[in-house]
Every structure is written in C-alpha cells, then in structure tokens.
Structure 1
Amino acid sequence: MIKKGIGRQIVLHYFFVVFLALLLVEVIFMIVIRAYYYDTIYKHVESRIQSVSEFAPKFKEPGQSLQSYLLNTFSLGDTELQLLDEKGNVIDNSTNFAAETSVQTSDVTQALAGDTGSWIGKQPGTGQQVMAVSKKLDNIVGDQVYIVRYTTSLEKVNDKLFTITLFSVGIMVAVLVIVFVVSTGLANSIVRPINNIRDVSAQMAQGRFDARIKGDYRFELGELASTLNYMAQEIARTNQIKDDFISSISHELRTPLTSIKGWSETLNSGGYDPEETKIGMQIISKETDRLIGLVEEILDFSKLEQDAMKLVMGTVDLRELLQEIMLNVWAKAEMKQIKLQLDSEEEAYLVHGDGNRLKQVFLNIADNAIKFSHESSIIFLSLQKIGDNIEVSVQDTGIGISAENLARVRERFFQVDHQNGGTGLGLAISQQFVERHQGQMLIKSELGAGTTITVSLPALQAEQPVEPPQLTEG
C-alpha cells in the first residue's frame, strides 16, 4: 500500500485517467464489435430475402405451391423461415415447431409499409434473443399478400461477444497493472528527490547551512535543489559577514569607549594643568563624535532596511555641496598630505533631493578615497552635465579594489580591508540613498591603480519650480 503523499496522488491520477480511457475504449470497442456482428447477420439474411422477393413474382411450378417451394428452397441453417399474411398471421414455417398464431413485432409493421424491417428481441416461449428480418412480397400471382420473415437466434453470437468482452477486459486489467507499476516507479522517482530535498531543507532550517542537496536532479527539481544550495551558501556567507561585522563593530566601539573611559578617569582624579585637561576633553569629544557616527550609520541602515527612512526633499546645488564636503575632510586629507581638487564649471548644478543625505553619500565616498589613498596623492572631484543628468565623480590613485571584491563592495557589512575599521555599511547605505533619488552609482577600480566612483542624478530642469524642502517617504 502506498502511503499518503504526493506519490499516492500521482499513482491514483495516472491510474484513474488510464482507467477512464480504457473503459471508454472498451465500451466503444464492444459497441462496434456488436454492431459489426449483428450487421453481418442482417446483411446475410437481407440478401436472402432480396433473392426471395425477386424470385416469387416469377414462380411457375405446376403441381407445387409457392409456399412449399419457398420454404424448401430459401431456408437458411439455424434460421426459421416464416410466411405471414397481411395481418401477421403465420401461414407456414420451415421448422417443425408450432407456429405463432400472430406476429406483431416492428419488423412486420415495417415490411407492410414497403421496407425491409428488422427487429431484435426475445423469442416468445423460448426466451432466446433473436433477430427477425421481414419483407413483403409484391406482384404475387392471385394477389395474395405474403410477408417473408427470417428469424435467427443470436445466442451463439452473444456468447462470442461475451468471450471477446472477457478477453478485452483481461487486456484492460493487464494494462492497468502495468500502468500501476510504471506510475509507482515514476512517483518514487519524483518523491525520492523531494524527500531528500525536504530532509536537507530541515537541516538548513535547524542552522546547518553546510548541508547540501546531492544528486543530479533534472528539470524543476534540479533547479529547486540548486536554488536551495545557493540559498544555504548565501546564508552561510551572510552569517560570516555578520560575524565579521560584529567583531569589527565591537572593536570600533571598544576603541573610543576605552579612550573616553581612560581620560574620564584621568581627569576625574585631578592634578592636571589646564592644557592637559583641554587635550583630554578634545579626545573625549572626538571619540564621542566617532561613536555617534557609528551609531547613526547603523540606525540609517536599519531604517533603510525597514523602509522607514524619510527624505527631506528640496533643491540642492551639488557644486556647493562638494565644496562643503572638501572643507569637512580637509583636515583628514592634510594628515596624509593628500590634495583635493574640484573640477567643474562656475555654475549651479541643481538637483531635487535631500541635501543632508546626498552630503552623507559624497562624504562617505570622499572619506573612503582618503582612507585608501597613498600619502601625497591627489583626489579628483569632478562635476559635469550629461544630457538630463548631473554626474559627480570621485577619483583616487590609491590601492584599488580587486575584481572579486568589486562585485561585493556594495554588499552590507562587507569590508575590503578589515584593518581600516568601519562597519562595512557606508557604500550599501550610499547606494540606497542614490537609488532613492532615482540615480545610479557606478564603481570602477583596478587593484593597485585606484578607484573611480561616479554618481549620476537627474538634473533639475529649468521649467521645474524651485520647491521648499518637504518630507517624502523613503
């Protein structure tokens, strides 16, 4: 017995469909065979009646009656020949059995109407199924009306049909057995991979992301297995990135907290001159700002993931924004003797967007450029209008990014160099902010040759009114 499940459903559906098809074929076959046998008998008898009807008007045998001559000459084996009058009364027959007094079956009625009539039914007295074929003889001498009626038993034919039926039913049963065996094998070939996929998926659900679905499955099952394996691989990779992020962010948080705690305890103990106290307070303030930046970056990412980030939209001049960013990162660039150079026309580059979020995007890009650039190098910032867009490019000649890391650099928590710190969320957040402004961010890089990041934003058209800042759902 096949247990409940998709295997049983497959077997039952195949079995049911084939059974209905075979049953339909069986019924049609038996109807056709029965019609063939019955029609053969009818045509044989009908041809004999035709001979009788052609012969009777020409009968001229002195000393012998037409009735006797017809009964003796045109009889058929295993068939009773009857001569009836116009009222259906039996005048004579070819057998020794007592004749019926009157025959009122439909074949007689049809014969009286001028057709060759036929009737199939049970013979009174014997109960046998018979076929009767009747025809009226025309142009008989003496104007006597005769109806020639042949009655033949169908028992032998029915026995033959019954044998054929049994044989065809046997074939039907054999086919159903074969279908059952084949469909069971087919169901098992489908269910086994599904059970394997289910078992491995259960292991994945329990956190075993190293489990893999093994087997060369074809078609949709193969695609499903590949998808689940890829999902497990991606989850394992994401978990590893998450673990690396937790490790990195723990270090990033611990370092400023250690400085703040150390200087707080030092200042609290007293005995320091004002200059030393001022240095300590500056360090505490700097590390506090660093902590705030880390927390805000994580909060921004969380809001973007939950689609809860709101943008304060307004008119933004990207040239002024880049100049402001250059002032913000100037001190950090000066520490590595890096020069920042802005290349743009002396005009306004207006876009419709959130100034603070766009500043966050370009500040992150510029900060990364400084972080991964060599000392005494130059970072080029450029602005240009191309069609209906404004492109902002930040190009450095730093360490660059390998092709392998370039494909993943915008993934959340991913860091090219863990030693430089950070959360690995900067570019992921920047990418989403650019997309929220209907823009695009393109990164080109070559390991050891530097990186160029280009942000393309829709330019504010001349016919567009300058709108005051307004909140929009992120």
Structure 2
Amino acid sequence: MKSIRKRLVFYFMFIIIITVVTLEIFLINNVKQNYYKNLEDSLHNQIKVSTDLYHRYFADATLHENVLNNVDTFWKQTSAQVEIIDTDGNVLMDSIGIIPANVVGMEDVNKALQGQTGKWMGKVEYDNEKVMAVSYPLYSGEEIVGVLRFITSLKEVNKDIRKIATVFMAFGALVIVISGFVSIFLASTIVDPLQEVTAAAEKMALGDFKTKSQKRVDDEIGKLSDTLNYMASEILKKEELKNDFISSVSHELRTPLTSIKGWAVTLKQGYEDREMLTDGLEIIEKESDRLTHMVEELLDFSKFVSGKITLEKQPVDITGILEHIRKQLTPRAIRDQIDFQIVYPKGLPITYSDENRLKQVFINILDNAFKFTSPEGRIRLETSYEDGQFLFHIRDTGCGIPEEELPKIKEKFYKGKSSKSKNGIGLSICDEIIKRMNGKLEITSKLNVGTEVAIILPLQERE
C-alpha cells in the first residue's frame, strides 16, 4: 500500500522544487541581463566620448593621418580593446595588435557604417571567454569616414554573475531543504489524524462501537471523526433497540404460547364440562390469532427492511375503506365505552393504491389510539380532499406521548416507556407504507391531552 505521507511530501517537494528552480532561472537570467546592459552602456558612453572628440578636433585630417599621429588619444578613453576601421571594413589600428584582414561581415560594424550604434557578442580566437563589441561611426562633417570599435572580454562579468548565481543556488538549496522538513511536518498534520480515524474505524469494524475517534481540528478530517462517532452511537442505539425488540418479541410470543399450551394440557385431561371446553377453545383461538398477527407483522417488517415489499395498485374507493373501518371498530368502541367517529365528505375520488396496505395503516394507528384512550374518551378519523391530496387526521383524547419520545416514535423497534407497546414496529411499518405511496405521516401529541396523526396522500392516477 502506498503511503499518503510519502505522496504528500513528494507532491509538496515537487511543487517547491519547480517553483525554486523557476525563480532561480528568472533571477540569474535577470542579473545576467543587467550586468551585460551595464557593460554595454559603459562601452557606449566611452565610445561616444571618443567619437565626439574625433569629430571636434581630428575631423580635418584623414583617418589614416589620425591613426598615425593621434591614435593614442582614442584608447586613453577606455580600458577596452580599441579598433579603428575604414569604410571598406579594413582594420587600420588595433590597441592590442591583433588586426584581422576584414570585418565587413560583423553585425556591429555594418550598423556603424550605416550611421547607427552597433553591438555584437560572440567568441574570438584570442580569448577563451565571449566578448562584447560596440561600434560607432566616425564623421568628418556629415560624411562617415570610418568606424570606432570598442571590444571587451566578458570574463570578469561572467565571473561576477557566476558568484551571484552560486549564492542564489545555495540559498535555493537551503530553501528546498527547509521546505522538505516543513513538508514532512505538514504531511504529518494531515496523515496522523487520518491514521487515528482509520484506527478508530478498524475497531468499529471489529464491533467495538464504544471507541471514539478524537477530533483534533474542525476541518474535513474532524467532520469525518464526528461522522464516525455519530455512526457508532447510532449503531449502539439501534443495537440496544434491537435487543429490547428481541426481548419484547420473545415475551410477546411466549404469552400466547403459554396460554395455548396451558389450555391444551387442561383439555387433554378429558374435561366433560362443556362450558370449560368452549372457553378453553375460544382462548386458544384468540391467542392463535394474536400470535398469527404478530408473526405477520414481523414478516411485513422483514420485507420492508429488505426492500422486497411491493404495493399491489388497483382502484381504491377511500369511502369504502372508511366504512369498512367503521364497521370493524365500532363494536370495540362500544365495548371500551369510547366515542368513535369517522367523518368524510361525499364524492371522494377514486385513487390507485394498495387497499389492503391502506387498511393496515388505518387499523394499526386506530388500534394504538384505542389502547391509549380511557373509557369516556374520544377518537375521531376526519378525512378531506384538497388540491389533489387526501388528508386524514386521526385524533384521540388518550394519555399522549412525552415530548422527548416524539422524534423516535416512528423508529424501528422503538417502544417508548409505555407497557402497552408491543414490539415497536407497527408505526415504522405504517410510515414505510405511506412513504411508498409518496405520502407523509406526521405525529403530534401532548401529554395527558391526546395525540393527532396526520396522513397526507396524493391522488394516484393509473400508471
């Protein structure tokens, strides 16, 4: 596995080296150009003084006469090599005694013969370093009679440039070394927290969800630590809920099974009392129904969790569902002495949905309302249709739900503190069904006042 630390250091150093090298090249080149420009300006000033001197005091004599009689006047003005060239390109005089046959092809000489200041840089046979030559025309009146040429070696200039370049490169190398250590430190500030988060994540992967990832800085890595810690706490909560659920389901299943087994053993002894036999069989039937209902609820829950549940859509008459619920629950309301009402307007439209699932939702919610509403209480299912949506409001005057439990009431396995709760999956199934129908299920409640469940379902057209 490639180390992030090494990659980060490599990337940092790559950027730093490229930046330092680019800056070094720019600075050294700039110094070189400045040195050469200063040397050129110095030669230009010196040669201008000499040509002005020639124009003022020696222009009356010919160029050859001046070379013979006044040549020392020109090289006294400069420490550079001095050449005097006629208009044909012949070198008449050279201050160091090296006279080439003809210099007409030289760029600086050609410009000077055209009346301009010429400059040339290149190699000569008598010097190992490059030289710089500056040429200027010599005038007699308005006529160019020759060229004055100053030549100087670039040896000392290049030596100074190399010294400065050495200093720059040494400083650049120092910057790179310091930056290397800084890069290692910066990489550690990123990698070390990542390693800690990784170690915490590995422990969590092994099942230790009580471990915590330490947050160093409030950045992306800090956010990752917070996310891992939140995930671990949520898993612990779900684990606790799951354990409570298993314990609750075990208890709920044991109760009807105990009743069934008890009466089966009792009836097996051959009681001839017809009334006792009828009571026993009736209890066995009811407990079997209750057991079947719990198993079906568990199967439904399993299907929803695994995503295998599907809605069987067909034309649904909401009015028919509401009347069915009225007939089914009115006897219970009379038995429990509860004022049960279902209110809806006439002419509710037909929607395409799963009728059985809708009944399951309403009956489950109303069943909870009946459980938590005392005698002389009131339960009301009110239905309306507005802007393409069915609005169902189920209100009761029961004991209500504590405020701290409301956000969790639709969570899987959550039972709350009431002993009347069973397995804690009924409302979560209802909420999942409504979501599959593109609707919303919202619960509001006030302790010792009552609870209201609002269901919003959009009108569904045939697909």
The answer to whether the superposition gives a TM-score over 0.5 is yes
Deviates more, 1:322-331 or 1:194-203: 322-331
| Residue 304 of structure 1: how far off its partner (Å) | 2.0
- Match among 14, 17, 21 for residue 16 of structure 1: 14
C-alpha distance after superposition, 1:24-49 (max 9, x if no partner): 11111111111111111112212333
Aligned to 2:35: 37
Alignment of 1:10-409 (within 5 A): 10-58=8-56, 59=58, 65-67=65-67, 68-95=69-96, 97-103=97-103, 104-139=105-140, 145-345=145-345, 347-348=347-348, 350-409=350-409
Question: What secondary structure sits across from 1:422 in the alignment?
Answer: coil
Deviates more, 1:228-237 or 1:182-191: 182-191
Q: Which amino acid aligns with 1:45?
A: L
C-alpha distance after superposition, 1:198-231 (max 9, x if no partner): 1111111111111112234222122111111111
Question: What secondary structure sits across from 1:358 in the alignment?
Answer: helix
- CA gap 1:316/1:98 in 2 versus in 1, 3 angstroms: closer
Normalising by structure 2, what TM-score? 0.91
Question: What secondary structure sits across from 1:160 in the alignment?
Answer: helix
- CA gap 1:427/1:260 in 2 versus in 1, 3 angstroms: same
CA RMSD of aligned residues (A): 2.6
| Residue 234 of structure 1: how far off its partner (Å) | 0.6
CA distance in 1, matches of 2:238, 2:172: 58
C-alpha distance after superposition, 1:295-349 (max 9, x if no partner): 2112222222233222222333333323322333345444433231223345546
C-alpha distance after superposition, 1:381-420 (max 9, x if no partner): 2222334322222211111101110011011111124522
CA distance in 2, matches of 1:57, 1:344: 120
Alignment of 1:415-434 (within 5 A): 415-417=415-417, 419-434=419-434
CA distance in 2, matches of 1:347, 1:215: 60
CA distance in 2, matches of 1:28, 1:183: 24
- CA gap 1:84/1:272 in 2 versus in 1, 3 angstroms: farther
Q: Which amino acid aligns with 2:8?
A: I
| Residue 110 of structure 1: how far off its partner (Å) | 3.4
| Residue 232 of structure 1: how far off its partner (Å) | 0.7
Deviates more, 1:284-293 or 1:273-282: 273-282
- CA gap 1:451/1:55 in 2 versus in 1, 3 angstroms: same
CA distance in 1, matches of 2:384, 2:300: 29
* Cα contact 2:50–2:77 (8 A) shared by 1: no
Question: What secondary structure sits across from 1:410 in the alignment?
Answer: coil
Q: Which amino acid aligns with 2:445?
A: S
Deviates more, 1:17-26 or 1:314-323: 314-323
C-alpha distance after superposition, 1:339-395 (max 9, x if no partner): 312233455464332111100000001000011112332212222233432222221
CA distance in 1, matches of 2:137, 2:59: 19
Percent of aligned pairs with the same amino acid: 33
Give unpaired runs (5+ residues) of structure 2: none
Question: What secondary structure sits across from 1:385 in the alignment?
Answer: strand
Question: What secondary structure sits across from 1:308 in the alignment?
Answer: coil
Deviates more, 1:199-208 or 1:112-121: 112-121
- CA gap 1:338/1:101 in 2 versus in 1, 3 angstroms: same
* Cα contact 1:248–1:418 (8 A) shared by 2: no
CA distance in 1, matches of 2:233, 2:18: 47
Give unpaired runs (5+ residues) of structure 1: none
- CA gap 1:258/1:76 in 2 versus in 1, 3 angstroms: farther
| Residue 99 of structure 1: how far off its partner (Å) | 3.1
CA distance in 1, matches of 2:35, 2:346: 105
* Cα contact 2:135–2:148 (8 A) shared by 1: yes
| Residue 139 of structure 1: how far off its partner (Å) | 3.5
Q: Which amino acid aligns with 1:34?
A: K
Deviates more, 1:321-330 or 1:247-256: 321-330
* Cα contact 1:311–1:354 (8 A) shared by 2: yes
Q: Which amino acid aligns with 1:371?
A: K
* Cα contact 2:59–2:140 (8 A) shared by 1: no
CA distance in 2, matches of 1:244, 1:437: 30
| Residue 244 of structure 1: how far off its partner (Å) | 0.6
Q: Which amino acid aligns with 1:431?
A: D
C-alpha distance after superposition, 1:116-150 (max 9, x if no partner): 22221222133232111123324479x89422111
C-alpha distance after superposition, 1:265-299 (max 9, x if no partner): 33344343343333222222222221221121122
CA distance in 2, matches of 1:8, 1:233: 34
| Residue 261 of structure 1: how far off its partner (Å) | 2.3
Q: Which amino acid aligns with 1:85?
A: D
Q: Which amino acid aligns with 1:214?
A: Q
Deviates more, 1:209-218 or 1:322-331: 322-331
CA distance in 1, matches of 2:206, 2:418: 30
- CA gap 1:128/1:236 in 2 versus in 1, 3 angstroms: same
CA distance in 2, matches of 1:272, 1:120: 133
Aligned length in residues = 459
Normalising by structure 1, what TM-score? 0.89
* Cα contact 1:400–1:449 (8 A) shared by 2: yes
Question: What secondary structure sits across from 1:420 in the alignment?
Answer: coil
